Chain A
């Protein structure tokens, strides 16, 4: 029976994706780690890290924990070794695992000190997910026991028949309360938690440097995974002209795209966006953190972003280009594309007016329902072209 289960698992994996594999991750939990804060001081935290299976006692924790990166269809095994004095679990947030793998002590089990277990799931949806400890969650999560899980199609398509991206970034928002980090043994009543330290990928303020910038080069279509594992409402405010478009939330395709420069993410939510820029940008994404009671602004970070838009639409003989004619046009255009892909036509405000799939070579695209004006045509490969419509 055990062998049958394994065979079915593998069969299903290959059905979902020709490149599906069994992936193994070795995660440890520690409660005696330190990290450096924005002001140069250090603080204690509890967290997850990777360990070498030949020497489980030597794994080091990080905040956030290491990202579990898998491909669509993979059979994922997370071998968890608890190298800490208290019991912990791993809850696979949003992955819709069965009860035994859900990581909730009351409905599955806890892993005591120096014990180990293997959590299993099939990565049957692309998207952005989380993991965190579900033992005394209010405290363990605030102490740093969380990380991201990303499920990616091997061809970098967001979902079946969805847009393709060439590069991706993860921005995980979280928060902490320094007095809890200083004294987790008796932090006080949990309902009095007031976050006073705010992070993106475990870093804050001046730690978020140019070196980590989101860079959109001329050939890039950039996807950004946004997630919030903190206790506050988080707003990701993108610079004007970067034109973020949300295609997915919580690992599922959105029925209608969300086009907004500000993406609000409540605790536990995730979004996957693609940038469709309409101008050069050297700026910052502002991440503001808000109380869940009255939405008071309680914290802020900025994350650098750099977009080379001018060269994205410039004709360049060194790379494939998107050829559009006639241009200006009135009722239809021919788009000659070097690769089969989706194209997205946006107006000068970044609003999507048309999306369609093109085959390699020449394609006729009907633009009769698009008003006069200037537009940009984005190809999933990252290249783009200008279009003028004049009737």
Chain B
């Protein structure tokens, strides 16, 4: 008696770290991102690893400042990658679900150098939402290392998903959920920002499959749930009807970047 098993394999990938400035929704800001191509990409690259596989990743630092490559629960931050240097890591993940990789330096993580790794859910359609908030006027000081923490007077005006705001997010194939009635859709969500967000789904409830911080909500069916700072959440949506439905932060200060509706909003487009 034997069964056909898929043997574990290793995903080989390369990410570059670089910096850029951009004006989103009328607000100028500095950014740093991890991206798969050696030209600047405004969104951090999402990585999917099949269940039981490992990841062999090369990080090339194109930025002028030192960074590291940190994954909470998987890889500590004591691995400086100096400007122009390259580092290699071989990583394995003990369970399926969403993880967050990031540069732990303030000028990294506070400027969005933070992305999603999703492990497992191999045979389903997968989407990625990297929530981020910024106060435009702080980013210059952070980028130059003049401040290394968010002050108590924080008033963010830049709210984004995958460093994109609504309606631009609709052209992002990882952030705009497109599927059919009856599909099993997996959405990996992390909060790379500096405050809690409360995501509300129109039209559907989703099942919480995985939550690294608010783990008491795992297994719950919710239409609204918190995504606190540094959270990593995986949800499953099986749409029962067609239609176009928004998903947004229900702390409604965050849905105006670039005008209403804007900011931290995306959409579900479900066909029959």
Contacts and interface: CB of A to CB of B under 8 A. Distances in A.
A99 B244 contact: yes
Chain A: number of interface residues, binned into ranges: 35 or more
B260 A266 contact: no
- In the A-B complex, list the 3 residue pairs whose CB atoms are closest, starting with the nearest: A268-B250, A99-B243, A266-B198
A295 B229 CA distance: 11
Interface string A252-286: 10111010000010111110000000000000000
* Range of interface residues on B (Cβ < 8 Å): 35 or more
B93 interface: no
Interface in A16-69: none
Contacts of A106: 246, 261
B220 interface: yes
Contacts of A137: 252, 255, 260-261
B252 A231 contact: yes
Interface stretch (B49-57, B82-90, B189-197): B189-197
Interface string A136-176: 11100110000000000000000000000000000000000
Contact of B195 (A136, A142, A270, A293): A293
Given A191-B254, A233-B196, A295-B196, 17 more contacts: A93-B223, A94-B224, A104-B245, A107-B243, A138-B256, A190-B256, A191-B156, A249-B222, A250-B222, A251-B223, A267-B224, A268-B198, A268-B200, A270-B224, A292-B195, A294-B154, A296-B152
Interface of B: 150, 152, 154-157, 159, 194-198, 200, 202-205, 216, 219-226, 241-246, 250-257, 260-261
A295 B216 CA distance: 19
A250 B205 contact: yes
A174 to B, nearest CB: 12
Nearest to B27: A191
Contacts of A99: 203, 242-245
A258 B200 contact: no
Given A137-B260, A192-B155, A255 B219 contact: yes
Contacts of B242: 99
A138 B255 contact: yes
A102 B242 CA distance: 13
Given A137-B255, A250-B221, A250-B223, A267 B260 contact: no
13 contacts: A99-B242, A99-B245, A191-B155, A232-B251, A249-B220, A251-B223, A254-B220, A255-B219, A267-B224, A268-B198, A294-B154, A294-B195, A295-B196
Nearest to B226: A266
A96 B204 contact: yes
A98 interface: yes
Contacts of A107: 243-246
Nearest to A260: B216
Interface centre among B195, B197, B198, B252 (most CB of A within 10 A): B252
A252 B152 CA distance: 37
Interface string A80-119: 0000000000010110111100101011000000000000
